[in-house]
Amino acid sequence: MMSKQSKFQVKYGQWSTDYIVVDGDELEKLHYAKKIGAFFTGKYGDVDTTKIVSVRPDYKETYGAMPEYQLVGEDYDEMYREFGDISAMIGEAKERAEYLIQTNQKHLIGKGVKIPELERPKVERREGGVRSIGEMLTPE
């Protein structure tokens, strides 16, 4: 049975057991705590953010699979349909946390608010307008 949240492993040491599991909705708080060097406490444990080695998707935990179960392509497809690109969520959460810090909106970190500025198309003109594909293909 698949979990209701995507799950991530936060590795903080050299041993295979040196990690905690973090829900997808806690990633922004984790990145904020890491940025300021604070201690992070989540639903499944806590960690000194200065010792974090990596943050990566935990597909087995997200899927709800037993440790001995080997995930197959259909399992990954099902997770993608349910949660989208789980690996991209790490960068998106970091970008959201940094934006909220820079705009002095720290109280919104981890609340899941919409940020229209981060949802704009990435290809823009120097003047700030978005170019269509047709404009980019025609010579100027």
In this model, does residue 138 exceed pLDDT 60? no
3-state secondary structure of 111: coil
Q: What would the mean pLDDT of 68-96 be, rounded to a whole number? A: 92
What does the alpha-carbon distance between residue 61 and residue 59 come to, in Å, rounded to a whole number? 5
The CA-atom distances, in angstroms, between 73 and each of 11, 68, 79, 80, 123 are 25, 16, 10, 11, 33
Lowest mean pLDDT among 66-75, 83-92, 115-124: 115-124
Q: pLDDT band for position 128 (50/70/90)?
A: low
d(CA 120, CA 108): 20
User: In sequence order, what are the residues at sequence separation of 6 or more whose Cβ sits closer than 8 angstroms to the Cβ of residue 64?
Assistant: 1, 2, 3
- What is the tens place of the pLDDT at every residue in 17-47? 999 999 999 999 999 999 999 999 999 999 9
Q: For the segment 115-126, what is each residue's pLDDT rounded down to a tens digit?
A: 877 776 555 545
pLDDT at 110 (0 to 100): 86
Please, which pLDDT band fits residue 4 given cuts at 50, 70 and 90? confident
